[in-house]
Amino acid sequence: MKFKCVLYTWSDIQKLCKLLSEKIKESGYRPEAIIAIARGGWVPARIVCDHLDIKELYSVKTEHWGVVATTTGEARITQPLNANIEGKRVLIVDDVADTGDTIKVVSEHVKEFSPAEVKVAVIDYKKTSKFVPDFYAAEMESWKWIVYPWSIKEELRDLINKAGAKTVEEAVKALKEEFDIEVNEDMVRDVLSDC
């Protein structure tokens, strides 16, 4: 199973979150609270809070993705919102709008808490998504799997397993040939040491 991937660095994420925050500011939307979609949205939500000077940060946990690029079924909430956001302008933040299922489920859930307004921001918006976010830093015309720095070991482990690689050399070669990801042997060795 071959597919292309994008591998972000922490520096990439800082730049993209800053760009995302600037787009939100330029729009005139002034959220009073941010809700991160866990787990992928935790880091970008915190960075966006910093850029927008927002102290209220909450979380909703969902499950939808299992092993890399495989859904586990319908998106569902496993840890609901536990905050009073009634009458507040809310911004939901996630890493990516991929299928759009997770964001749709969380948006509907958040609206049950009677906020004044709800908008959605993501780092990456894939044109394959059924849900178009209000704000995004990057747009992908064609589908690729994105490897974020906060889940790099988890993602690389799954990709290496998908490729059936057993050695460091096989894994480095498979990641490049099958997924278009270039990583050094030390990173792969670190990932494989945990398997």
* Each residue's pLDDT tens digit, 57-66: 999 999 875 5
Q: Is the pLDDT of residue 188 over 60?
A: yes
Who wins on pLDDT, 194 or 177?
177
- Pairs from 189-195 (Cβ < 8 Å, separation ≥ 24): 190/153, 191/153, 191/156, 191/157, 191/160, 192/160, 192/168, 194/153, 194/157, 195/157, 195/160, 195/161
Helix and strand numbers, DSSP H then E, in the chain: 6, 8
DSSP secondary structure letters along 43-57: HHHHHHHHHHT---E
User: What contacts 12, CB < 8 A, 6 or more positions away?
Assistant: none
* Each residue's pLDDT tens digit, 3-37: 999 999 999 999 999 999 999 999 999 999 999 99
For residue 153, give both structure tokens.
Answer: 């070991």
The pLDDT of 123-145, averaged and rounded, is 95
**pLDDT band, residue 70 (cuts 50/70/90):** low
Question: What is the pTM assigned to this prediction?
Answer: 0.91
Q: Is the pLDDT of residue 192 over 80?
A: yes
**pLDDT band, residue 72 (cuts 50/70/90):** low
For residue 116, give both structure tokens.
Answer: 């004044």
- Sole residue written with tokens 């859930």: 109
**pLDDT band, residue 89 (cuts 50/70/90):** very high
| pLDDT at residue 13 in the model | 98
Q: Are 143 and 117 contacting, i.e. CB atoms less than 8 angstroms apart? A: no
As a whole number, the mean pLDDT across the chain is 93
Who wins on pLDDT, 195 or 108?
108
